[in-house]
């Protein structure tokens, strides 16, 4: 474990055109569920089932960003970031996922984009951040090809309304997590427990990404990326069983989602044979050239061979893992942990980025860190300051090693609805009182504001 840097010391200098931003998602902050024509999402239904969300909450109000967006944009302006990555709620724009467009929903994003531009903050919409319209979910969701086609049509509608003011676009957020947690293990919406039979959801999300890139290009977009989650996979030991388990985990969580986009192929022929076709033709669409590649980084994963047969399910990161999985994530000792229990390993970000450059070479476009953050309680959140400081230094080290990184986005602007955790985990630079919805900037907000001012002086 490396020595933790002193966050009171100035950060290293980043390029003047480096993009600094923060990220959020519609399902986690907007609220206003059912208002102004918004349809139901898979997460609305999942949360309403009871026992699904650990604190028994739901996203119906969340942080009420739908009504308080001007206040939140003012916080962005004061923070001094150059860009804001938000997501467009698919069911707010197309309540049934296809067909009739909800003009009131598009009007909201019109207002948000105008407010951001007036504050000097570039809007960067993510078109899909897990809130599948429930009508599509009931028809099979991402397990069926039609959802990818409906997603492209929705992307065209959004770009047609906002494209005159939006320069950068993101298609999907973290298809790996939706595949694994939503369709594979049932811990997230839509709550399916298909294990490896969830793989069609991976392929159809990637196909939806490629079709959306085509739709955005047709609308004149010239700056498009994706936000994939990645992290180094460390074998639990040098034993063959552990290294093989780690390789499989890395394939499923990293390479399965990076290589179709970057290389136009799946990393394993046997795996590709499990996916719905026509795979070869789809890969030509999936691998549409991108202007940059977004990486969401939180932690590395230590992986070993599964426990002995008959030992029952195991828990990892609060998630129950079925015993039939051919790998077993394990806790990483020797590092500080966030309130979520995640290890804080900034140097693993350097490792990840350098490994991507070595693995993909000139097929890797410029990289943007589209999410990086941590869950801690409290407003005087020194741990979050140390986390951000350490990760920014690790990011700079990767750039010194030759990785072309163009931007960094903190997750998240606001405390929010943290999916199956409900409101129990606070990732925000700004504290939200969930009773009054009052926003209070944390110490980490002030630290980042001052750091960005110092960068601007350079």
Between CA 87 and CA 172 the distance in angstroms is: 9
**Annotated binding-site residue? 28:** yes
**Annotated binding-site residue? 66:** no
On the 0-12 / 13-18 / 19+ scale of CB atoms within 10 A, 279 is middle
Is 331 assigned a catalytic role?
no
**Annotated binding-site residue? 411:** yes
Is 174 assigned a catalytic role?
yes
Catalytic residue among 30, 115, 137, 174, which? 174
**Annotated binding-site residue? 418:** yes
- HEC profile of the chain: CCCCCCCCCCCCCCCCCCEEEEECCHHHHCCCCCHHHCCCEHHHHHHHCCCCCCCCCCCCCCCCHHHHHHHHHHHHHHHCCCEEEEECCHHHHCCCCCCCCCHHHHHHHHHHHHHHHHCCCEEEEEEECCCCEHHHHHCCHHHCHHHHHHHHHHHHHHHHHHCCCCCCEEEEECHHHHHHHHHHCCCCCCCCCCHHHHHHHHHHHHHHHHHHHHHHHHCCCCCEEEEEECCCEEECCCCHHHHHHHHHHHHHHHHHHHHHHHCCCCCCHHHHCCCCCCHHHHHHHHCCCCCCEEEECCCCEEEECCCCCCCCCEEECCEEECCCCCCEEECCCCCCECCCCCECCCHHHHHHHHHHHHHHHHHCCCEEEEECCCCCCCCCCHHHHHHHHHHHHHHHHHHHCCCCEEEEEEECCECCCCHHHCCCCCCCCEEECCCCCCEEECHHHHHHHHHHHHHHHC
**Annotated binding-site residue? 288:** no
User: Among all residues, which ones are annotated catalytic?
Assistant: 174, 371
Q: Which residues are annotated as a binding site for substrate?
A: 28, 129, 173, 298, 411, 418-419
């Amino acid at each position: 474990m490396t020595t933790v840097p002193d966050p009171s010391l100035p950060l290293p200098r980043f390029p003047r055109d480096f993009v600094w931003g923060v990220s959020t998602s519609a399902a986690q902050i907007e609220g206003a569920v059912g208002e102004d024509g918004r349809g139901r999402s898979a997460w609305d239904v999942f949360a309403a089932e009871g026992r699904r969300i650990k604190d028994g909450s739901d996203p119906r109000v969340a942080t009420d960003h739908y009504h308080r967006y001007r206040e939140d944009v003012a916080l962005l302006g004061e923070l001094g970031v150059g860009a804001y990555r938000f997501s467009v709620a698919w069911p707010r724009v197309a309540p049934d996922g296809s067909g009739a467009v909800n003009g009131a929903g598009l009007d909201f994003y019109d207002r948000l984009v105008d407010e951001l531009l007036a504050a000097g903050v570039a809007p960067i919409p993510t078109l899909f951040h897990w809130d599948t319209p429930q009508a599509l979910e009931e028809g099979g969701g991402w397990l069926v090809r039609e959802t990818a086609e409906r997603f492209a049509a929705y992307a065209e509608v959004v770009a047609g309304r906002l494209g005159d003011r939006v320069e950068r676009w993101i298609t999907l957020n973290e298809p790996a997590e939706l595949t694994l947690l939503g369709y594979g293990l049932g811990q997230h919406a839509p709550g399916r427990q298909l294990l490896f039979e969830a793989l069609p959801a991976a392929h159809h999300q990637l196909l939806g990404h490629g079709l959306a890139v085509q739709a955005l290009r047709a609308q004149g977009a010239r700056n498009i990326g994706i936000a994939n989650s990645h992290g180094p996979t460390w074998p639990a030991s040098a034993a063959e069983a552990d290294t093989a388990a780690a390789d499989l985990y890395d394939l499923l969580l990293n390479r399965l989602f990076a290589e179709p986009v970057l290389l136009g192929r799946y990393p394993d022929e046997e795996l590709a044979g499990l996916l719905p076709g026509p795979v070869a033709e789809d890969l030509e669409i999936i691998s549409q050239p991108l202007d940059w590649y977004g990486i969401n980084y939180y932690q590395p994963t230590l992986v070993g061979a599964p426990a002995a047969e008959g030992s029952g399910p195991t828990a990892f990161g609060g998630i129950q893992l079925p015993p039939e999985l051919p790998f077993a994530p394990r806790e990483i000792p020797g590092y500080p942990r966030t309130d979520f229990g995640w290890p804080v390993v900034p140097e693993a970000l350097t490792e990840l980025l350098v490994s991507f450059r070595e693995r993909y070479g000139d097929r890797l476009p410029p990289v943007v860190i589209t999410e990086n953050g941590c869950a801690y309680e409290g407003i005087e959140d020194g741990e979050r300051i140390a986390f951000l400081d350490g990760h920014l230094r690790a990011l700079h080290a990767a750039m010194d090693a030759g990785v072309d990184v163009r931007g960094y986005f903190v997750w998240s602007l606001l405390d929010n609805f943290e999916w199956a955790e409900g409101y129990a985990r606070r990732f925000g630079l700004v504290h939200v009182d969930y009773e009054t919805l009052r926003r209070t900037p944390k110490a980490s907000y002030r630290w980042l504001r001052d750091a960005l001012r110092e960068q601007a002086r350079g």
